[in-house]
Amino acid sequence: MTDDPRPQGFDTLAIHAGAEPDPATGARQVPIYQSTAFQFRDAAHAARLFGLQEVGYIYSRLTNPTVSALQARVAALEGGAGAVCCSSGHAAQIMALFPLMGPGLNIVASSRLYGGTVTQFSQTIRRFGWSCRFVDLDDHDAVRAAIDDDTRAIFCESISNPGGYVTDIPAIAGIADEAGIPLIVDNTLATPFLCRPLEQGATLVVHSLTKYLTGNGTVMGGAVIDSGRFDWSASGKFPSLSDPEPAYHGLRFHETFGAAAFTFHSIAIGLRDLGMTLNPQAAHYVLMGIETLGLRMERHVANAQRVAEWLEADPRVAEVTYAGLQGSPWHERVQRLYPKGAGALFTIRLKGGYDACVAAIEKLQMISHVANLGDARTLAIHPASTTHSQLTEAQQIAAGAGPDLVRLSIGIENPEDIIADLDRALG
């Protein structure tokens, strides 16, 4: 893209990474390659592509040029060796675990996670014979005690949904290193603008592209980004990556592809067989969104800080969990690890309890009552009766989603208008 040896800045990469002018037409914006299949030059070319001896396009369940551009862009923004995109954030979580796991194996995950992830990990993955142990990541002895010979990863969120808890990624990455297993970080809420988990020692990053990266609530998507640094062959614990793969004539992914092993496996086996493919239209929307990620995140964070300070001073509000506030237990950690801010999602606890939460939600006018976050619009929801309703009350409280809480995803409107709507709703 440029001969300049300096590393390019975040906002430059957000616009340019993965997006050369189209070689066939010169189109400056990444075209939507709305094609299921791609014509082979000749029979030998086709055979090389199928044998993974040459990288190229065969069939859009595996690879598509619009999706490839997005993969290159998210890998660049996270500082990874490669990325694979898939159909949703939840698909990305399965795609991240799939090469690592097998029947009887487990993961250790933070107790503070997106409600849907708690359900996926506590119930659905059991159908594959996988299991999950949830622990408080601030209790390092408990994390170490939860890891055994069958543990294949630690999973956490950088900033967690909904409680605004902030993970000490370097500390947890150190525990993962001691155990010889990868740390997987869901970086959806922080985005690579606020936090780059791979630089703090994580091996894999997963994203719901649905949220801030797209930024306008239009499409679903997910991504898995690999640091390229984990030694998949060191322990014998990751045979999918280190041992001969029968479907590709005994090819060993790690030996053959090195730093790209995880990404190649995710495409050649994961997308091929699980089929959780991102479509090129959705990839286009995400690419458009990412162009303004830095600008939007600055505004999201500034608005969240201002609204959180206003709410904290309001007598109707018992607690605001925003880690950008001085009194937050995570305030020091945010300043050390997330210096550009603590994101734009937090919860407020209302003195009137469950009933006051429901009443406030119903009185909102500009702010939308929806099950989403990371939109340009400010959004509100009562997690205990919606996103976290499949959890027990104890799990809800552990996840920072107790019955007397409202979750706010602060948008990029004028902050005075967000505050005016909240003031009216709190009645």
Interface contacts to ligand PLP, rule CB under 6 A: 88-90, 114, 116-117, 157, 161, 186, 188-189, 208, 210-211, 220, 222, 373
Instruction: Give the contacts of 22 (CB within 8 A, at least 6 positions apart).
Output: 28, 30, 31
Tell me the residue number closest to ligand PLP, measured at CB: 89
How near is the Cβ of 117 to ligand PLP at its closest, in Å?
Answer: 6
Within 26-168, residue ranges assigned H as helices are 43-50, 65-78, 89-97, 115-122, 140-146
How near is the Cβ of 199 to ligand PLP at its closest, in Å?
Answer: 20
- Helical pair 415-425 and 293-312, crossing angle rounded to 10 deg: 40
Separate counts of helices (H) and strands (E) for the chain: 18, 12
For ligand PLP, the closer of residues 222 and 415 by Cβ is 222
For ligand PLP, the closer of residues 90 and 388 by Cβ is 90
For ligand PLP, the closer of residues 242 and 347 by Cβ is 347
For ligand PLP, the closer of residues 84 and 179 by Cβ is 84
For ligand PLP, the closer of residues 71 and 117 by Cβ is 117
How near is the Cβ of 385 to ligand PLP at its closest, in Å?
Answer: 18
Assign 56 to helix, strand or coil.
coil
3-state helix, strand, coil in the chain (%, to 5): 40, 15, 45
How near is the Cβ of 214 to ligand PLP at its closest, in Å?
Answer: 10
Peptide bond into 162 cis (omega under 30): yes
DSSP state of 252: -
For ligand PLP, the closer of residues 254 and 407 by Cβ is 407
How near is the Cβ of 24 to ligand PLP at its closest, in Å?
Answer: 32
For ligand PLP, the closer of residues 288 and 359 by Cβ is 288
Core vs surface per residue 15-44: b (16+ CB within 10 A) or e: eebbbeeeeeeeeeebebbeeeeeebeeee
How near is the Cβ of 160 to ligand PLP at its closest, in Å?
Answer: 7
How near is the Cβ of 114 to ligand PLP at its closest, in Å?
Answer: 4
For ligand PLP, the closer of residues 89 and 294 by Cβ is 89
How near is the Cβ of 154 to ligand PLP at its closest, in Å?
Answer: 16
Do residues 418 and 378 make contact, with C-beta atoms less than 8 angstroms apart?
Answer: yes
For ligand PLP, the closer of residues 240 and 347 by Cβ is 347
Do residues 203 and 183 make contact, with C-beta atoms less than 8 angstroms apart?
Answer: yes
For ligand PLP, the closer of residues 49 and 108 by Cβ is 108
How near is the Cβ of 262 to ligand PLP at its closest, in Å?
Answer: 20
In this structure, the strands spanning 317-320 and 345-350 are antiparallel
Instruction: Give the contacts of 259 (CB within 8 A, at least 6 positions apart).
Output: 81, 82, 226, 228, 229
How near is the Cβ of 375 to ligand PLP at its closest, in Å?
Answer: 11
How far is 284 from 214, CA to CA, in rounded Å? 10
What are the residues facing 251 on neighbouring strands? 245
How far is 54 from 331, CA to CA, in rounded Å? 49
Q: At 134, give phi and psi (nearest 5°).
A: -95, 130
Assign 61 to helix, strand or coil.
coil
